[in-house]
Structure 1
Amino acid sequence: MERTAPTSRRLALSALSSLGLTSLLGCGGSGSGSDTEADASDTTTTTGTGSGSGTGTTTGAGATCSVAPDETAGPYPADGSTVSNNSYNVLTLSGIVRSDIRSSIGSSTQVGGVPLTIAITLTNASASCAPLAGYAIYLWHCTQDGNYSVYTTSNIADNHLRGVQATDTNGTVTFTTVVPGCYAGRMPHMHLEVYPSLAAASNARNAIKTTQLAFPTAVLSSIYNANAGYSASVRNLASMSFATDNVFSDGTDLEMTTVQANSDGGYAASITLSIAA
């Protein structure tokens, strides 16, 4: 079953927006199915500047940070939950704990796409934004063509662009992947689930947070237009905005990544997410 964002969060963000306190940014997508979710602001900036990018969060005595919103896991989580009439579970596979998720476990064949590293830092909103070490993060997203592994072929061995890692002493994990494509109906995005430990990261019922990551529209538009493999994404992104996305339409300030180009032709993204641990 899809998990949906609480009404209270949407009302709270709406109230903040009316006071001029929210900063809205975003983008995300996929192509083989429709992950129904949205956000209400299109942007042409190249990096995220809202609290979701981590740029406004400090740690230490008296520091405050906002809890990342809950979002749907969508129809393709492969986390043991029953969605899309299937209950695939890659979380029990040997080798799923990995940093480079560009190939299926045990395969040397990497999916196509522009290289991207993404650093996710987890902090405790209940303890002055202190970093959370030893927590597990399961990350998954679509290919440059907008397809999700496992479900596209109905084969759990086809599990590229899915992986789990434990946060280090700084509360951070870094995944090596590719820039996600933009499929019809959704802004480009990544999914993630947070677990209290690697041992607990074996089934969705143990997840303590499910959310999504957004990406600056202008950056992705530039990437898509410069790389032939994202031709469908060019069209899809041009017809979408955060305002029409059914997950991000209420704001992306806590889910927006910061993205910048690398010297090797790839990109690096980062975000700080807070939970009430």
Structure 2
Amino acid sequence: MTPHHPHGLNHDLDTLARQIRERRSALRWLAAGACASLAPLSLVACGGGGDDESEDAVSAASGGSCSTIPRETAGPYPADGTTASNQRLNALTLSGIVRSDIRSSIGGASGTAPGVPLTVTLNLVNTSDSCNSLEGYAVYLWHCTRDGGYSMYSSGYTGENFLRGVQVSDANGQVSFSTIFPGCYSGRWPHIHFEIYPSLSAATGSDSVGDHLTVSQLALPASVCNQVYGVASGYSSSVRNFANISLASDNVFGNDSAAQQLASVSGSVTQGFVATLEVGVAA
């Protein structure tokens, strides 16, 4: 065991903050697991957090542990240099792909994806090292438009590359993206894809195809999806598609513990939403 060294007040405060995040994440996993077992209509009531006292009571039993996020398919539209949908496209080599705001296209394309504003924040923790934050890791994140299309692949969007971007985790293991709330297309629960790389060069290098540590997906809570799809313009097809899917029937989340992938979301249609997910990686 590494001997303890005094690092000062800032270190202690950072450690305390991380422990609080871990405890709250444990509660979200437990609550989300219960929601996932309910019928689709019941899921509408799931997605909000409880009070602080409840969080501390539940998380006290967790022991401050974290779990490795399930590994998932990158899907048919990754644009990560691998062959998918009979094409080998690579957004990771585009100039400007390292960015926090992914709503507009780059590299000569000029489109902007419309939709309800959404900030996605991922907190990377090392499941092989006491859940300590992972600094300097690159995250490639992508998702569909409000009507279910994917840039670079879908009809009408082949000339665009928006809703794709890379960020490098800070000292707290955090990356953040400004984007739009994705739509729900037929057969899939509303989700966001991401790949994690050990460094920026591993993510964006021309010879780095397949060098990611893991690939997974973030699930959005039913209550928030219903808010967006039932009110915001441009999401009309999502209403019907969302009514015919559940976490349990989804061919990705239904095969794993969706509780580890279900984001905590706050906000409103008028002000925008913030989605947060702790991502455990065995680094």
The TM-score with structure 2 as length reference comes to 0.77
- Same amino acid, percent of matched pairs: 49
Equivalent residues of 1:133, 1:167 under 8 A apart: yes
Partner of 1:219: 224
Shift of 1:164: 0.3
Query: What is the CA-CA distance between 1:220 and the residue it aligns to?
Result: 0.7
Determine helix, strand or coil for the equivalent of 2:98: coil
Unaligned runs of 5+ in 1: 1-20, 27-38
The alignment status of 1:259 with 2:265, answered yes or no, reads yes
| Superposed displacement of residue 94, structure 1 | 1.0
Give the 3-state SS of the residue equivalent to 2:139 in structure 1. Answer: strand
Letter in 2 for 1:183: Y
Q: Bigger radius of gyration, 1 or 2?
A: 2
Partner residue in 2 for 1:104: 105
Structure 1's 115 and 155: CA in aligned 2 closer, same or farther, altered over 3 A?
A: closer
Partner deviation per Cα, 1:93-147 (whole Å, 9 max, x = no partner): 1100000000101555421100000111100001110000000000000000000
Query: CA shift at 1:48, angstroms?
Result: 6.7
SS at structure 1 position matched to 2:223: helix
Q: Taking CA–CA contacts closer than 8 Å with sequence separation of 6 or more, which of the two structures ends up with the larger relative contact order?
A: 1
Contact 1:149 1:159 in 2 (8 A): yes
Q: State the 1:86 CA deviation.
A: 0.5
Determine helix, strand or coil for the equivalent of 2:210.
helix
- 1:86 correspondence with 2:87: yes
Deviation of residue 204 (structure 1)? 3.9
1:24 aligned onto 2:29:
no
Q: CA RMSD in A?
A: 2.6
Matches within 5 A, 1:64-79: 64-79=65-80
Relative to structure 1, the CA distance from residue 57 to residue 115 in structure 2 (aligned partners, 3 Å threshold; closer, same or farther) is: farther
Q: Distance in 1 between matches of 2:167 and 2:137?
A: 8
Partner secondary structure for residue 259 of structure 2:
coil
Q: Cα offset for 1:24?
A: 2.0
The alpha-carbon distance between structure 1 residues 22 and 225, as it changes in their structure 2 partners (threshold 3 A), is closer
Distance 2:211 2:156 in 1: 24
After TM superposition, the structure 1 = structure 2 runs for residues 47-62 of structure 1, keeping only pairs within 5 Å, are 47=48
Is the Cα–Cα contact under 8 Å of residues 195 and 206 in structure 1 kept in the other structure?
Answer: yes
Alpha-carbon displacement from aligned partner over 1:41-68 (angstroms, at most 9, x marks no partner): 542213378xxxx99889xxx8421110
How many residue pairs match? The answer is 238
Distance in 2 between residues matched to 1:109 and 1:57, nearest whole Å: 44
Question: Mapping of 1:161-200 within 5 angstroms?
Answer: 161-200=163-202
Q: Does structure 2 retain, via aligned residues, the 8 Å contact 1:193–1:211?
A: yes
Task: Give the alignment's TM-score, normalised by structure 1.
Answer: 0.79
1:265, distance to aligned residue in structure 2 (A): 1.5
Offset at residue 222 of structure 1 (A): 1.2
Alpha-carbon contact 1:99-1:165 (below 8 Å) kept: yes
Contact 1:123/1:272 (8 A) holds in 2: yes
What residue in structure 2 maps to residue 269 of structure 1?
275
Contact 1:72 1:211 in 2 (8 A): yes
Query: Are the aligned partners of 1:25 and 1:48 in contact in 2 as well (CA < 8 Å)?
Result: no
1:16 alignment counterpart: none
Amino acid at match of 1:247: V
